[in-house]
Structure 1
């Protein structure tokens, strides 16, 4: 067949790709045999959106594909399945190394050479994601994606739903384990959101692997983007792929080997150009790799979106209940808690203590040393209160005033803590509080408890300034 003449009759960007086949079923060189004008322009024409993202801007027939893009195991797997296994292939993806989406089609071609297979490779680019192109999928893949979408949509229990979704994905992959990591590259932190292990397998939880790893596990996680090397994911199916991983990332490859991992799928979870985490499946059904990849390429978009929403809601909850300066609960959270005591029909604590703590000297600190010094004083005060009233709920009720609600400590112990903190406050080297408390032993009127504690705090403040008039605020 005259491959050049063949592709010249195709309008979209198309080339012919050959795959060298070995007797053991493995493969060798993958080459770009011939390309039509549209395809060659995608490499050579500087005005084409892909040209400046190629490794080489000169198309040479029968060149190894790695002359134009980095070695990509996913691309190689698709080409092999098409050219050697004679399976047509289509996908619509956004590899990290490109600024555009690629709609790619591969069709197997007949070959008279026993040790070489051929296929066509046709591509179209879109600058923005096209949802219609993403829906052009098989019925079984569509069913799996729809099931994930329905479970995630409107869930009230995010973590339980995620575990359910990951159980489905583990079954699709027939994997030993599926796991979702959350990552924070700014803070260099990662955590396990959820993990699912195949029934009957005695496998250490991922948290244990992370603790027992010879290096900080984030040191491995932060190598994953380079290891994926601009592709959409990383799929290791066999020893040959594992050797490629060894070449790219020896430390991680050894870590996987020590953990008994023979195959894996790793997909980044990306939302608005930010990596929120990763999904991985280990020791999966490698014969089903193509379907697994197709399912995860779509479901990861849904999962990443849901994680982003969950994190946003959690952040809004924190902003609505936590004082951003001191890290204790804010006045809004205090009002909601008091309202619960007054209005809720839920069972209330049999006894509780209310403590008001007013920070002495904040105004002088602000006036004499500036508001940054005042902020440091407030942070230090909150830290002391957390240490002393470790069983309590601590609220910043106002500028220099804190309220502590303690439903766990006995009255005698609570009194000891208040008195110790009061004595410490008389030392000018220490952070100083005016304190008042009330212990409700079954009355159930939190408004009375708060009013009495507040009155006693102001009495203590007058006592303090009578002893130390030079520290009285003006």
Structure 2
């Protein structure tokens, strides 16, 4: 067959690729036996040496394990293939076509490879999916876009179950990377009830965090990591023995691992274990775009959680703020939050803070507020501490011993600890609700008792300015 003639008629980058086929279903040497002018020129520009016919494919094309699988499927199994992928380490988008060619050699397969390369993503090419794939991706997109703030985790659980079924996998999971706490969180998962797999044994492995941190190096610049048979497992053992051992010890025979990236930052990974390897190409095509959508939504979810934290935390003291307090009270009143009796409301106010601000400056006053918040959190360690406003704090005791003796003891500890710092002095009041009182009534009565305590303090120290 005149391979030079075949490729010379193509205007876009094109070459003829040969794949050595083994009897056990594996493959060996992959070579570029002929190339057209566009491919030769591109090879010389990128790889800095002239193209040589029948040379290893890595001399003129980027090395990629998933690309090798595509070439094998086309050249040896006779499958015509098309895909649109991002070559991560080169920063390029490649629209590639592979067509099988006849071979006169028993152990060698041939295919025609043509591609178009761009530094930018083409939305039309991303949308040029098979009808089945497009349907799956559209369904995932609709679920993500229709998700409400309070049911987003359930939506992700539904989606991961959909993906598990698409993959025909025993287990499917999104692992969220919690960088601050150095761990991977099982964000959502789906499991075939008949599967003998025990994924918790994988995630709870003491080395899992370090192993997961090596995922990106195992992917090696590809869009994903695909392990479909014993040949791929042998390859994985050579590049990442720890991951190989972890999977093998827990009965994993095949898997697909996709990074979830947003603005070049890895948010986590999606993986499917013991999947239907016969559908590898379709699964890869579906997950290629689905993971892009999922990563974007996780980034939005992450942002919303950060905004939620910022909207509920007092930046100065680290306590929950008045907005958070009001929301909780509203939830109790509406029945959204349960507050079983007995419970207690405690109000604590700083005596003399205005005098400190006037005489020593607001920076000293801010330091006193931070110290006061720390003392409150230490004494009432099992309660949420709210900064109700200014120098006033509120706590709700709803767990443990809610009785006069216990609360008086803690208020005594509060005043003992604050006595160590001459500028920190608490007035405090409390009310125990056990007769069906409205929480707002309990708050009002606790606040009134706190002001009685404050008046008693100034009665003993008339030389100090009020407030």
In the superposition, the TM-score normalised over structure 1's length comes to 0.87
| Map of 2:430 onto structure 1 | 437
| Map of 2:313 onto structure 1 | 322
Deviation at 1:100, TM superposition (A): 2.1
Whole-Å separation in 2 of the counterparts to 1:87 and 1:240: 20
Could you say if the C-alpha distance between residues 69 and 9 of structure 1 is closer, same or farther in structure 2, counting changes exceeding 3 Å? closer
Mean Cα deviation higher: 30-39 or 196-205 = 196-205
Match runs of 1:258-273 below 5 Å? 258-273=249-264
Match runs of 1:277-316 below 5 Å? 277-316=268-307
Whole-Å separation in 2 of the counterparts to 1:220 and 1:365: 53
Whole-Å separation in 1 of the counterparts to 2:62 and 2:463: 73
1:31 matched to 2:31? The reply is yes
Whole-Å separation in 2 of the counterparts to 1:180 and 1:23: 37
1:352 to 331, 343, 351: 343
Match runs of 1:139-158 below 5 Å? 139-156=131-148, 157-158=151-152
Whole-Å separation in 1 of the counterparts to 2:338 and 2:220: 56
| Map of 1:48 onto structure 2 | none
| Map of 1:188 onto structure 2 | 182
List runs of 5+ in structure 1 lacking aligned partners: 46-50
Deviations 1:186-239 (A, max 9, x none): 653321101112112343343x433333x2x22111111111000000001122
Deviation at 1:77, TM superposition (A): 0.7
1:80 matched to 2:72? The reply is yes
How many positions carry a matched residue from both structures? 462
Could you say if the C-alpha distance between residues 450 and 23 of structure 1 is closer, same or farther in structure 2, counting changes exceeding 3 Å? closer
Deviations 1:235-284 (A, max 9, x none): 01122211221221122212222222221110011122221110111122
Deviations 1:156-179 (A, max 9, x none): 322222122111221222222111
Match runs of 1:312-391 below 5 Å? 312-340=303-331, 349-359=340-350, 371=363, 378-391=369-382
Deviation at 1:60, TM superposition (A): 2.4
CA contact (8 A) 2:428 2:450 kept: yes
CA contact (8 A) 2:328 2:337 kept: no
Whole-Å separation in 2 of the counterparts to 1:375 and 1:68: 64
Whole-Å separation in 2 of the counterparts to 1:313 and 1:457: 37
Deviations 1:71-102 (A, max 9, x none): 42211110011011111111111122121211
Could you say if the C-alpha distance between residues 430 and 241 of structure 1 is closer, same or farther in structure 2, counting changes exceeding 3 Å? farther
SS at match of 1:295: helix
Could you say if the C-alpha distance between residues 35 and 315 of structure 1 is closer, same or farther in structure 2, counting changes exceeding 3 Å? same
Whole-Å separation in 1 of the counterparts to 2:237 and 2:420: 62
RMSD: 3.1
Whole-Å separation in 1 of the counterparts to 2:23 and 2:337: 73
Deviations 1:346-381 (A, max 9, x none): 87654532212234687759987994x876664554
Whole-Å separation in 1 of the counterparts to 2:464 and 2:253: 69
| Map of 1:121 onto structure 2 | 113
Match runs of 1:70-219 below 5 Å? 71-156=63-148, 157-185=151-179, 188-206=182-200, 208-213=201-206, 215=207, 217-219=208-210
